[in-house]
Amino acid sequence: MTSSPQPNPATVEALLDTAWRLTASEASRTEALDRKSATLATFASLLTALTATLGLRFVEDKPTWWALTLLTGNLILLGTAVGLAVVVLLPREYLALGIDYLRRFPTWSEILKPPEQVRGETMRGLVEAIARERDANDGKARLVRWAYLALAAALVLTIAEAVTLGWNKVS
């Protein structure tokens, strides 16, 4: 007669504790990405208004195709930075244990289970939620990275506009 291996209660408890810690860690990462995106969207929005004002003077002083191209490129990059940051901030489903799993808790079939089995099932649900949250955060991180790159490129164009305006005033 063969018996199936029994879980070690201490190991199951340690794994469940680790899963809870990873859940908290991934939630912190989500909050950090959201804060960065909000800051970036705010800064890029303000910079867009300032760039439009500066850009009008720039195009008036230098009514050439390259001046208009520089201004247009700058505004497109700033709009891209704002757009990407806002996409990161769009509401998404909070990933946690499924409600169907939680609704089973008060039933006798769940109450009579050995604690190790309950912890194991909870751990499995947490790991699935962590994996989905990590995938979502990886996508957010990519968008934030691209938004910062667009902002950096726009800042370079803003500096070019400002230097050209200053150069025209001096010469």
- Per-residue model confidence as pLDDT tens digits over 6-54: 777 788 788 888 888 988 898 899 999 999 999 999 999 999 998 888 8
Q: Which segment of 59-68, 99-108, 134-143 scores lowest on mean pLDDT?
A: 99-108
Joined together, the tokens standing for residue 152 give 């950096």
On average, the pLDDT of the chain sits at 86
Q: How confident is the model at residue 73 (pLDDT cuts 50, 70, 90)?
A: very high
pLDDT of residue 95: 67
pLDDT of residue 1: 57
Residue 97 confidence (pLDDT) above 80 = no
Start-to-end CA distance of the chain, whole Å, equals: 97
Could you give the CA distance from residue 78 to residue 60 in angstroms, rounded to a whole number? 21
Q: What is the pTM of this model?
A: 0.78
Neighbours of 55 (CB within 10 A): 22
What stretches of 62-114 show up as alpha helix (H) in DSSP? 65-89, 99-103, 108-111
The domains of the chain are located at 33-94+134-170
